[in-house]
């Protein structure tokens, strides 16, 4: 075994990046074991940089990640999401060559065995890149456990959970007074979520927790706790079913209400729409026709005169104003179409009253 001591974290990241790049240059392609965590961030940043410069390619590589939390892969706190943000989206690694544990597998032991079989079939690894935590864990294999080389279910130590919670708190580091931070945790015990909510409260932001947990220990986690009473899951241990669906419905209600309050909804239509594709242009046309009670051809003319701006086209169609006047009215209403129409109607009533007088 060769041990190399480097003077700075930057030097360490540079050295690891060079080792990985060398492995990637192999003609048959490389099999890489990859970690998540603070140690990996500068390495993945550097890999993304040299890939963008054309100095390395992941096209023939296969990656295996060392760990995953017991949460769905599309959860923003999952290690899969970490890798998507930090590396996978920055390089040309084929999606079908990414190997990952399923954190939401209903049978974790069977999932571990499956992962072992895939690694045995496609390995061995050319490079194993691992980090060591503050309590000595290698990847997330906690101290005191057997070091047998196999995939297994691990209970994280209190210090590791605190570290993960601190990562969540850093994620809320930009929150400030006047912001709203919503935490989502089916079990209510996800450390990132608790850490983020605690930091948000400390910074003066309003906080909400959405959870399917029945425990009473959630009362102090956020100013508002939304309890989703979904009952037992159909498949035990899989919160992506009832809890996941109920959470999505709750978030849909919250975001739709927020969009309406911000003036992005007019009647039953979403009017803050950018017509960047044929599908969206057709949708904008149908909305203008319905909102103004005109034919599709007249709706097309309104959109053309409004330079493709949906809210402006509707205001022009309902008031008869020209583009410049409609734009000024919308600007005075801070872009809120409903408010702009109310002010127009009030001004029209005032003019009529004045003439009768």
Interval 103-137: pLDDT, tens: 888 888 888 899 899 989 987 888 888 876 544 44
Examine the domain organization and report whether 181 and 257 are in the same domain.
Answer: yes
Examine the domain organization and report whether 34 and 118 are in the same domain.
Answer: yes
- Asked whether residue 160 is domain-assigned, the answer is no
Examine the domain organization and report whether 235 and 323 are in the same domain.
Answer: no
Q: How confident is the model over 192-209, as a mean pLDDT?
A: 85
Any idea what the CATH number is for the domain that residue 345 is in? Answer: 1.10.8.1080
Q: How confident is the model over 72-100, as a mean pLDDT?
A: 88
Q: If you search the block for the tokens 């570290």, which residue do you land on?
A: 163
Given a cut of 90, whether residue 159 has pLDDT beyond it is: no
CB count within 10 Å of CB 21 equals 17
Q: How confident is the model over 272-293, as a mean pLDDT?
A: 88
Any idea what the CATH number is for the domain that residue 87 is in? Answer: 3.40.50.1360
- Asked whether residue 172 is domain-assigned, the answer is yes
Q: Which residue has the higher pLDDT, 355 or 307?
A: 307
Examine the domain organization and report whether 271 and 351 are in the same domain.
Answer: yes
Q: How confident is the model over 271-300, as a mean pLDDT?
A: 89
Q: For residue 182, what is the enclosing H or E element? A: strand 180-184
pTM: 0.48
- Asked whether residue 80 is domain-assigned, the answer is yes
Q: If you search the block for the tokens 């007074």, which residue do you land on?
A: 177
Examine the domain organization and report whether 251 and 284 are in the same domain.
Answer: no
**Boundary residue ending a domain (128, 160, 176):** 128
Residue 38: give the domain boundaries.
9-128
Per-residue model confidence as pLDDT tens digits over 16-31:
999 899 899 876 778 9
Cα distance between residue 332 and residue 162, in whole Å:
49
Examine the domain organization and report whether 295 and 217 are in the same domain.
Answer: no
Given a cut of 60, whether residue 165 has pLDDT beyond it is: no
Examine the domain organization and report whether 96 and 110 are in the same domain.
Answer: yes
Examine the domain organization and report whether 13 and 51 are in the same domain.
Answer: yes
- Asked whether residue 352 is domain-assigned, the answer is yes
Examine the domain organization and report whether 288 and 351 are in the same domain.
Answer: yes
Examine the domain organization and report whether 217 and 276 are in the same domain.
Answer: no
Examine the domain organization and report whether 304 and 253 are in the same domain.
Answer: no
Q: What percent of the chain has pLDDT over 90?
A: 22
Q: How confident is the model over 81-93, as a mean pLDDT?
A: 90
- Asked whether residue 215 is domain-assigned, the answer is yes
Examine the domain organization and report whether 22 and 116 are in the same domain.
Answer: yes
Which residue intervals of the chain are DSSP H helices?
A: 9-24, 40-52, 79-86, 108-122, 158-171, 191-202, 242-261, 278-292, 296-305, 310-319, 323-332, 337-356
Per-residue model confidence as pLDDT tens digits over 291-340:
999 999 999 999 999 988 899 999 999 999 999 999 988 888 888 888 88
Sequence-ordered list of residues with C-beta below 8 angstroms from that of 290, at least 6 positions apart, any chain:
269
Any idea what the CATH number is for the domain that residue 216 is in? Answer: 3.40.50.10490
Query: How confident is the model at residue 143, as a pLDDT?
Result: 44
């Amino acid at each position: 075994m060769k041990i190399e001591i480097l003077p700075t974290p930057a030097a360490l990241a540079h050295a690891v990046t060079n080792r990985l790049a060398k492995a990637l240059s192999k003609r048959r392609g490389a099999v890489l074991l990859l970690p998540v965590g603070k140690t990996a961030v500068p390495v993945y940043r550097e890999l993304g940089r040299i890939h963008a410069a054309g100095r390395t390619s992941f096209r023939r590589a296969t990656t295996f990640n060392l760990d995953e939390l017991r949460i769905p892969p599309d959860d923003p706190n999952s290690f899969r999401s970490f890798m998507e943000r930090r590396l996978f989206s920055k390089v040309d690694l084929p999606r079908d060559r990414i190997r990952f544990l399923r954190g939401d597998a209903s049978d974790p032991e069977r999932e571990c065995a499956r992962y072992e079989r895939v690694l045995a079939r496609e390995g061995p690894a050319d490079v194993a890149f691992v980090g060591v935590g503050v309590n000595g864990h290698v990847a997330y294999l906690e101290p005191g456990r057997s070091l047998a080389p196999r995939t297994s279910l691990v209970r994280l130590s209190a210090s590791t959970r605190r570290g993960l919670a601190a990562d969540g708190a850093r994620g809320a580091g930009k929150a400030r007074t006047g912001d709203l931070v919503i935490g989502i945790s089916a079990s209510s015990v996800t450390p990132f979520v608790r850490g983020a909510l605690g930091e948000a409260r400390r910074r003066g932001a309003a906080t909400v927790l959405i959870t399917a947990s029945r425990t009473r220990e959630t009362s102090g986690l956020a100013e508002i706790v939304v309890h989703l009473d979904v009952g037992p899951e159909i498949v035990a241990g899989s919160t992506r079913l009832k809890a996941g669906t109920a959470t999505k419905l709750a978030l849909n209600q919250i975001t739709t209400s927020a969009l309406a309050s911000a003036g992005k909804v007019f009647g039953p239509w979403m009017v803050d729409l950018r017509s960047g594709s044929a599908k969206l242009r057709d949708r904008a046309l149908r909305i203008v026709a319905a909102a103004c009670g005109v034919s599709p051809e007249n709706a097309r003319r309104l959109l053309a005169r409004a330079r493709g701006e949906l809210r402006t086209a509707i205001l022009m169609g309902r008031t008869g104003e020209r583009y410049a006047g409609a734009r000024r009215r919308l600007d005075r209403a801070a872009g809120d179409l409903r408010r702009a129409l109310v002010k127009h109607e009030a001004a029209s009533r005032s003019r009529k009253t004045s003439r009768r007088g």
